[in-house]
Structure 1
Amino acid sequence: MEKKRVNLKRKKKTKFEEYLEWDMNRSGVVSGEVDLELERKLAKKLNVKKGKLGDLDDGLNLLFDDMDFDDIINDGNSEAPMEITEFCSLKRKVKKKKVLDEAEKEELEDETEKKHKKRKQGMLEKKGEDEVMGNLSKEEAGVGAPPSDGNVTYVAPHLRPSVGKESEEHSQIRRRVRGLLNKLSESNVESITEEISTIFRSVGRSIGCQIIGEEVLTSCSGGPRGNEQYAAVFAAFIAGMVCLVGIDFSAKLIASLAKSFEDEYLKEDGLSLRNLTLLLSYLCIFGVCSSDLIYDFLFGLSKRLTELDVSTILTLLQCCGMKLRSDDPAAMKDFIINVQNRVNESKSLSGHIQDGQQKKYNKRMEFMLETICDIKNNKKRLKEDPAHHTRLKKWLQKLRVGDVLLRGLKWSKLLDPHKKGQWWISGDITSTTDNAEEVATTIDKEVLEAQKLLKLAATQRMNTDTRRAIFCIIMSGEDYIDAFEKITRLDLPGKQDREIMRVLVECCLQEKVFNKYYTVLASRLCSHDKNHKFTLQYCLWDHFKELGSMELIRSMNLARFTAEMLASFSLSPAILKTVDLSDPKLLTPKRIMHFRMLFEAIFEKTNMIIWNVFTRIAIAPELELLRDSLKFFMTQYVASANKSSVRKFEIAKKALGNVAGILM
């Protein structure tokens, strides 16, 4: 029991206490080997490696290294015990080995520290580049980059894409668009257009126009020699995109095309010029841009008439020459005269050109003149056969490509670097003249006209900004197409678009003499959007209720307006179902006069139109009362009062009984 207690006590003692006990009792001094074993155990417990702590060096090892155990041992004692001598000799050996280990360790630490510093510098360099350049890859910012000087310039987030590369999101969109365009063909152009239009709506309009436009032009100009089919498919894709996303897409793309053409012209790259010319030609054929732009482009080429110009003119005329001739024969005549004069001038200067180039130039020139002669004589070539691209044209007609035609553009306007805002809509007043006084006079006239229109709008009870804007557009339109395009660009929110038809009908009724301009514009609006058709029906019903107190001139204009809308098939005679034309109590003299003028205006049309107008309500069984009332009214008040209308009335009567619904 006593031995066990002693052992327990010994187990409780620390190594330091055992060392003190050894020091106090010299008679029980341990051997040097036991001491070394004790030192190793302490080193293992304290995590000491090669004389130093593993984590942090507290400086004590340096202090102990400077101490000489020989001096300590021999100080005051000439004779040292054998155990101490052996201990010191072992300590010297350990110290020598320790010095060698320290030298190796210092070399290893120097190499490690150099690598650590190098890696740290690379990380700092990478961090500085990332702040400036945005999303750079790790490979570009490599570890072995040169050390940074510490002067890193801050770049705002909205400016970083312009400083560095394209963002990852836009790069993915670009790759996706490029992949779809690579698959583009006549069989899948509809589906790919739908998919790319969805991608376009997922990003900003400017970014979408830029990415898709760049990829289209790269595919067309940067590739091999393109043919007409290739250019036609891409032009159809552009036309479909314009119908789906807006007219600004085509305007920006054609401006980029013009810029690319001029750049390639300076490089004298005939292949790219031909591909871009084919694309421009088919954009005109499919109704994206008007022939005015092509004529302006042709006149610019004919002024220089170099070899590249002759090739470009030849490509244009072969592709869309007959369409240009049919669109504007007078402009084609002026162009032919201009080319002939320029050819005569070039022949007089032909001596300055080398023989080889002269022969090649003369052949191209002769071929161009033959093509112009064929167009002048209305000789169609196989390439301009109307049967070509029928499928693409039918698809674009369904999308109403005629509504997105760019008008009034000039080639110089496309290349103008200072164009701002919606330049494809605002016109080209300032760029067509250099005379400041003439421009000022034009602006003053426009301001005066606008002021007059606003005063007139106030007199016509146009009491809201929306009604005044619609009134000014309708009254200032150059023609019904110009007015239609401006009205559709108003983009009125909510139910404000209902004011369009009401203002239009009011303008028509205020005229002293009936103007068919309003009916053509109304028909175009009805065919563009069914909501305008429904609004017009309700508007006419409201005016029918006011016939008893309506002025004669307004009633006459309303009757002519309604008759024209029925004759153009924009409205059906079913709109008359709200008016009981068979009840004598409701047929006041003013109402009889109004509807008599309406039917007489219809009877002025051809027999085919009369037949088709009344056949539209011959089939529906719910309109039987309307058919009976129309027969009664026309018999009593139209045919009996005007004998010249009897024959027309018989046609209308047969059409109302046309149960089969067969149209003429």
Structure 2
Amino acid sequence: MYEKLQELLKLKSGGVYVPPAKLKALMAEVELEQDSEEYQKLQWETLKKKINSIINRVNKGNIKIMVIELFKLNLFRGRGALCKSLISSQQLSTAYTDVYSSLVSVLNSKIPEVGNLLIRRLIVRYKRLLKREDKYGCRAVLTFLSDLVIFHVCCLDLVMEIVLQLLEEPSDFKVELVLEILNICGVEMYDNESTWFDQVKNTLRNILSEDLVDSRSQLLIQSFFDTFNKKLKEGQALDEDLDLVDEDDYVVHKFSLKDRVQGDDQLDVFQYDKDYKQHNEKYNLLRKEILGSDVESEPEEKTGDNSDFSSDNEEDEEGDDDEETEDSKRLTVQIKDLTEQELTNYQKNVYLTVMSSMSPEEATHKLLRLPSIDPSRKEYMLVDMIVKCCAQEKVYSKYYGIIGECLVVMGKAWSGAFQQLFKENYENCYKFETALLRNIGAFWGHMLASDKLGWECLSAVKLTEKDTTSSGRIFLKFVFLKLLEESGINHLVERIEEAYIEPFVIGIFPKTDAENLRFSINFFTAIGLGKLTERMRVSLENLPVEAEAIADGDDDSDSSRGRSRSRSSSYSSYSSSRSRSYSRSRSASPKDEEKENRGRGREERSRSRSPADRERSFSRSRPTSPDRRPQRGQSTIPRGPRSHRGRGYNSRGSGYRGNRGRGFGSYNNNRGSRGYSSHSGYGNGRGRDY
């Protein structure tokens, strides 16, 4: 057993990768108690490896996830290894200094011992490197300290004291270090200590004028003066992705170069702890305060990093957990939470699970294992949270669409939840901004294009001018554009024309109502999907002729007035044109329309079109009633002009006739054409059209 233990310790502390199967086999052969030194040493080696792994993987994009992973570890016990890993990583890659400083600011707001130890070690390291005149080492340390000042972890007085110390005996090496500090936190110094900052600038001007440094350092000083005013106007603004701590949670550590600080290097190595269990329990309580219910979603962490090596007490712990869950259920029956804190924790669990997963399949597996606060609405609440997470992204990510595909095929309950949520999103789309509508519409377009979600949900959409809003049309636009991107125009046309899908999209692609047809055609043509409207254009052309008889409501009129209106509509593939013709006739007989128009040697023949020659037309006429037909010898000329009487449109054009006199007509300049001559106030010219 002793040999197996030594082999295990050698593997864990030697930095060699051990396959999980081999490690599990060795642990099965070695039985250790939690109070034993060997067991704690194995835990220490595992803790160091996890900390180094997280620090090496942290970047601007995943810093939030890495912070949560670090809090799950016992940082109070491993703060020495954490600070050592941070300093070494920052020295190798100074470009990530702001990322490391942001990470430290979050950890320091909850565990101030981490920030305190890091600053003390940086001070000790700076003094040691300054004596050696290690230029690059000092620059890395001062860059880290300056960024910690920006992120409100270190006090500004320490950096100001360092600047004054370097300027006491200026040299090329020290002037470059001063300029490095001023470039990072010079604006912060100017805002808080403007008088002191002016003195430093005067000192640099004296160094520049007296030639105390070489030409390279002089050029650096001059460039600092040139760029500082621009930085002062822009202000000292933190990156939004790295500014993760509220002002109320800042914990600023005050140090001075005169203080005798120590780096506590003994924290970097293993130390046997007699009260190991008690310290673990204390940190577990602190971790629950920081992460809330997120600790419950990680069953490995319940024993405080002991799960990798302890298997004896798992059954007992599971029994305790079952008892706790039963007690919690009893409490939830008695207590009703009106603050919706439970819902907030559930949504936070879903978001963190989605963001921390490496693949959509892994995220789906974890989401299905999350405990539900309302079993009757489990599917709907999870789907709703997935859509909300997708909407908050800057650009739509297919990651959420694949998660939706995995969930919708789980059963009818999940499919019904997606159907219900789509209808609610469409009805409440006026509550979302355009950026959110873009992501939500793209999500539902992806679900429809994948054929995992049924097209029955589109039955709730009716694309008419009365039934839609601007937000609803924007939502539909993004849905169909995503369908076009995923499926292609030809496949999309085939899907819409399928006999099974056609009843569900009849509200979007109507067939009967001419007004709804035109509105739908215009909508899809405007968003660049005119090919989807070809069947609707054919349906619009083949609609039957509608005629209505409209009686004249003026009983005092002595003459009859006939009005006919014809509309000719012809649609090409993606364009439409209308022509209207309004005419007034003296008689209801069509023979009068065949008379020749005389004038200026030009003849025009106006014939009434036969049904075989004309295109589709829609006409409304007010025929003369039998009671009002003029008797023999009675004048058929109307009494006088009305407003807009005689306005005419024909297939050649429409507008105001350029002839003299009153009246509207077609573009016809013939004075002798068919029409009423000046009579009873109908014009002042000769034979003008009316």
The verdict on a shared fold, with TM-score over 0.5 as the criterion, is no
TM-score by length of 1: 0.35
TM-score by length of 2: 0.34
**Higher normalized strand content (fraction of residues):** 2
**Higher normalized helix content (fraction of residues):** 1
